[in-house]
Structure 1
Amino acid sequence: PVGTAVLLCLALGCNSFGPRTLEATHPQYNHAISRSLDEQFLLNLVRLKYRDNPFFLEVSAVTTQQTVQHEVSASVKFASGADSLTPSGGMTYKQTPTISYAPLRGDQFLKQILSPVPLEAVLILTQSGWSVERVVSVCVERVNDLDNASNASGPTPSREPRYKKFQEMTEILRELQVADAIELGAASNGAGKEGGAGHELVLRLKPRAELAERIARLKELLGINGTDNELRLTNDFLNRPKNSLAVRTRSMMGVLFYLSHNTHVPEDHEKEGLVTLTKKADGEPFDWDTVTGKLLRVESAPGRPLNAFVAVRHRGAWFFIRNNDLESKSTFMLLSQLFNLQAGQIKTMAPALTIGAGG
């Protein structure tokens, strides 16, 4: 009976082992991969601040092999008047995880990250619940004559950018979005390919008395006639129709550069000339917090920070986003979604790097 009990116990344990292992390991791999991708994004932002080359690796596969071996034995002892049976059992568990990485590279990937973000992507993000102020500030570098730090779409510039009127425009758009006084969507223009119905993006204003002053200011900034409330979006600045919005978006690489400038580096790195110092017209240092402080702020410290949402080490210092910096965390999440929209689906023929993660 004792031997039967041991066998039954081992059998039950083996039968439930697979589901229990999945419950234990799946969340751990999920957390580890998510954290790794966040660290990669932050590291590449910091690299761009230092004019170091960014590099992206994709976790293309995670596999793990689990084996269970069990042994059952019994010893019998014969003694005068008292025979005894002593059962014994053992179980050995081994897990062998394997992780495959694939570099994101090649001409298709390069074209995707250097091509302007499609206006349709801006529409998708705003319709999915994102703040129009955040999406437009990150993705768009010019609307009509309003410049959104277009010189920030590359390596850190030496001269301060133009951005204040564009920033005011996005703040008004956000106010109107909260008040449900704007709609951004696709409208038919009756001129599609092969005789079908065509569509173009439209920003529709829904005027109300209490918002009249803000809408008037928005139109003034955009150079729009006071009576037109349906503004069609185009990317043609040379032949822009009257009362339309000519929009130029950043590329994915331009977005990364734009958000990298508000990385606060150690003072000695500035003195050593490792980063570009942007100057105002009067020669005073320019503070990038005024441009992207509401979007993303990356701080630095000599040691690993304890209150970080994500942190990476680069050039002897730690760079991080604070765990309670919700604005930066929101933009960081938007950046990840935008990257997946723009470049995340590109598959390359580069060989994968497969690493055994140990047992």
Structure 2
Amino acid sequence: MAVRRRIDRPRARVLLMTIVASALAAGPGCLGPSALRSTRMKYNEAIRTTNDEQLLMNIVRLRYADSPVFIDLPSITSQFEMAGRAQFLGGRGNQFPGYANLGTGELTARDSPTLSYRPREGKDVARILLTPLSAELFSVVNAGANFEQLMLTTIDDINDVPNAPQAAVMVPKVPDNNDEYLRGIRLLADLFDRGGIELKVGSQEDDANASDPITSETLGGDDLLNAAKEGYVFRHKGQGQYALLKRDKGLVLKFRPGFAGAPEAREFERLLRLRPGLDGYRIKSDLTENALEAPKPLDEGGDTIYLHMRSILQIMIFLSKGVCVPQEHVVRNVVPNTPGPDGRPYDWTQVVAGNFFVHSSKHRPREAEIAVHYRDYWFFVPKNDVNSRSILAILEILVSLEDSEARTTGPLLTIPVGG
């Protein structure tokens, strides 16, 4: 029995080394799925966090009248490598009696991420930051965007009812407010939350710019076909006459049954100078019309909601008024100050009160969702400030929408990380 143990023990070692060698050889085939599970969501969260930090940093910079800087991350390439090697030397020794059990093993793993950075500059910045938004973007409300926050941040005025336009100026000279505007959009937001209104994108016919009357005898099949190709349509006007109308795709605000005559709807129509009692209103941007010929709401009200849309840069400047500036910077005039009616610096945070606010602290905050360090202070949004966080999310979506329309390729800064 003793002899058998001496014979089996080396065999067990041989078997163990064989298993180890097999595991090392099979390791590389298993690394890919494991690496995907352990790294993909980490990259996802890192991108979200740094995007929010970059956005907040630029909003804070604009409050100080400093230049915003955007650096995109077009791609992340991560290469995973794993190599294994094992060797076993076993059997009877040549010079010494007994069994020899010698073995070596090696396992190496490597993760080599490569990050590509693209600074936004030149025409790229001008197109994304300076171009006014389109009124059709309000269709994102149906996808879950907050109605009040979207109208507060993206619009400069509705039918000439101002939304504190001075707040969208980097260095405003006079104070401003948006009390009447806020009252109007909150009435509309309340109706929307109660299911009283809906926003639809559909075809509209522009009766204001209809052609002169055309007799039916002069119309042929080719005329109808060519008009349809160019986005026009012939409409019968009676007595054998037709008019050529432009058909555009536009946004419509429509009241659901039972809400058109509601007190909130009547007050909204009064505040925004609309014709009362209609079932719906067309929504247009001021830029879609000739500036000299665009029909404006009359004293008795109109049937169109004209929106003066802001650009991404104007939205960010407007939101920067919600940054709580340290008193030290106010006293030293490090930040632009606007004299109020009482001669003291005007409190701009009131124009975005309840929707967006950025705190400041000399020390790093503990319960911050997003925090950036700038000019020796920490600026942050707390975790429990859902409204401020959702506005940043809306702004991220708007920037993405503008960026996706026509992306231009710029210089890439590619940085390999780790080794």
What TM-score, normalized to structure 1?
A: 0.92
> What's the offset of the Cα at 1:207?
5.9
RMSD between aligned alpha carbons?
2.2
Residue number in structure 2 paired with 1:239: 295
1:342 is matched with which residue?
402
Q: Could you report, residue by residue, the CA deviation over 1:40-71 in whole angstroms, capped at 9, with x for unpaired residues?
A: 10110011011111011110111122222222
C-alpha separation between the residues in 1 aligned to 2:30 and 2:101?
28
Please, which moves more after superposition, 275-284 or 173-182? 275-284
Question: Are 2:21 and 1:7 equivalent residues in the alignment?
Answer: yes
Q: Which runs of 5+ in 1 are unaligned?
A: none
Q: Is the 8 A contact 1:104 1:347 kept in 2?
A: no
Distance 1:179 1:310, change over 3 A: same
User: Deviation of residue 75 (structure 1)?
Assistant: 4.0
Question: 1:173 maps to what in 2?
Answer: 188
AA in 2 matched with 1:35: T
Contact preservation (8 Å) 1:159, 1:280? yes
Q: CA deviation at 1:108?
A: 4.2
Deviations 1:224-248 (A, max 9, x none): 2322232222325752263322210
CA drift of 1:337 comes to 0.3
Q: Which moved more, 1:69-78 or 1:132-141?
A: 69-78
- Name the SS of the counterpart of 1:198 in structure 2: strand
* 8 Å contact from structure 2 (residues 139, 201) kept in 1: no
Give the Cα–Cα distance (whole angstroms) in 2 for the partners of residues 11 and 149 of structure 1. 68
Does the CA-based 8 Å contact 2:201-2:249 persist in structure 1?
Answer: yes
Give the 5 Å matches for 1:193-204.
193-195=230-232, 197-204=247-254
Partner of 1:126: 141
* Distance apart, 1:81 and its partner CA: 5.3
- Residues 346 and 312 of structure 1, relative CA distance in 2, 3 Å threshold: farther
Does the CA contact (< 8 Å) of 2:261 and 2:277 recur in 1?
A: no
Residues in 2 aligned to 1:140 and 1:52: alpha-carbon distance in whole angstroms: 23
Q: Structure 1 residues 111, 14: CA separation in 2 closer, same or farther (over 3 Å shift)? A: closer
Deviations for 1:130-175, whole angstroms, at most 9, x for unmatched residues?
2221111111110013110111222042322130010001110111
1:95 corresponds, among 103, 111, 128, to 111
Q: Which of 356, 361, 374 is the equivalent residue of 1:314?
A: 374
Deviation at 1:36, TM superposition (A): 1.2
Q: Determine helix, strand or coil for the equivalent of 2:205.
A: coil
Which residue identity does 1:183 align to in structure 2?
A: E
Look up the equivalent residue of 1:13 and give its one-letter code.
G
Rounded Cα–Cα distance in structure 2 between residues aligned with 1:213 and 1:225: 14
Question: What residue is the counterpart of 2:273 in the other structure?
Answer: 223
Is residue 113 of structure 2 the alignment partner of residue 53 of structure 1? no
Separation (CA, whole Å) in 2 of partners of 1:56 and 1:269: 25
Amino acid at match of 1:179: R
Report how far residue 251 of structure 1 moved: 0.7
Cα distance in 2, alignment partners of residues 223 and 346 from structure 1: 36
Tell me which moved more, 328-337 or 179-188. Answer: 179-188
Equivalenced residue count is 358
Secondary structure, in 3 states, of the residue corresponding to 1:70? Answer: strand
Q: 1:219 to 1:210 in 2, by over 3 A?
A: closer
Identical residues among aligned pairs (%): 28
Unaligned runs of 5+ in 2: 1-14, 207-227, 234-246
- In structure 1, how many angstroms separate the alpha carbons of the residues matched to 2:272 and 2:395? 27
